[in-house]
Amino acid sequence: MDVRAQVSMVFHLDKCIGCHTCSIACKNLWTDRRGAEYMWWNNVETKPGTGYPTLYEDQEKYRGGWEAGAGRPRLKLGGRLAELARIFHNPRLPALDDYYEPWTYRYDQLIGAPPSDDQPVATPVSLVTGEDMKIEAGPNWDDDLGGSSIYAAADPNVEALTDSERGQLLAFERLVFFYLPRICNHCLNPGCLAACPAGAIYKRGEDGIVLVSQHKCRGWRMCISGCPYKKTYFNWANGKAEKCILCYPRQETQQVPACMHSCVGRIRYLGVLLYDAERLAATAALPDAELVEAQRALILDPFDPEIAAAAREAGMPEAILEAARRSPVFQFVKRFRLALPHHPEFRTLPMLFYVPPLLPVMATVSDGHYEVTPELLSSLDASRLPLRYLAAMFTAGEVAPIVEVYRKLVAARLYQRATTVGDVPRESATHALEEAGLSAQDAEEIYRLTALASFEERFVVPPFFREGAIESVEDVHEHQEEEGAGFLRPPRRGW
Q: What domains does the chain contain, in order, with CATH numbers?
A: 268-458 (1.10.3650.10)
Q: Is the pLDDT of residue 306 over 70?
A: yes
pLDDT at 411: 92
In the structure, what pLDDT confidence band is assigned to residue 471 with cuts at 50, 70 and 90?
very low
Type of residue numbered 462: P
Among 73, 93, 47, which residue's Cα sits nearest to residue 347? Answer: 73
Local structure of residue 420 (DSSP, 8 states): I
- Report residue 124: phi and psi, to 5°: -70, 140
Q: Is the pLDDT of residue 246 over 90?
A: yes
| Each residue's pLDDT tens digit, 167-225 | 878 776 567 889 999 999 999 999 999 999 999 999 998 899 999 999 999 999 999 99
Mean pLDDT of 292-315: 96
| Each residue's pLDDT tens digit, 105-163 | 999 999 898 988 988 999 999 999 999 999 988 888 888 777 787 888 899 999 999 88
Cα(53)–Cα(283) distance, integer angstroms: 28
Cα(106)–Cα(124) distance, integer angstroms: 6
- Report residue 138: phi and psi, to 5°: -160, 180
CA triplet 119, 121, 124: central angle to 5 degrees?
170
| pLDDT greater at residue 18 or residue 176 | 18
Strand spans (E) along 164-262? 178-182, 201-203, 210-212, 232-235, 240-243
| Each residue's pLDDT tens digit, 335-391 | 999 999 999 999 999 999 999 998 765 556 677 776 655 565 556 666 778 899 999
Continuous H helices in 76-209:
80-85, 96-99, 108-111, 149-152, 163-170, 191-195
User: Long-range contacts for 215-219 (Cβ within 8 Å, ≥24 apart)?
Assistant: 216/473, 217/241
pLDDT at 236: 92
What is the dihedral sign for C-alpha 31, 32, 34, 40? positive
| Each residue's pLDDT tens digit, 270-301 | 999 999 999 999 999 999 999 999 999 999 99
In the structure, what pLDDT confidence band is assigned to residue 456 with cuts at 50, 70 and 90?
very high
Among 285, 266, 298, 273, which residue's Cα sits nearest to residue 457? Answer: 266
In the structure, what pLDDT confidence band is assigned to residue 166 with cuts at 50, 70 and 90?
confident
Local structure of residue 24 (DSSP, 8 states): H
Instruction: Tell me whether strands 178-182 and 43-47 are parallel, antiparallel or unpaired.
Output: antiparallel
Report cis status (omega within 30 of 0) of the bond before 53. Answer: yes
- Is residue 486 within 8 Å of 202, Cβ to Cβ? no
**pTM for the structure as a whole:** 0.91
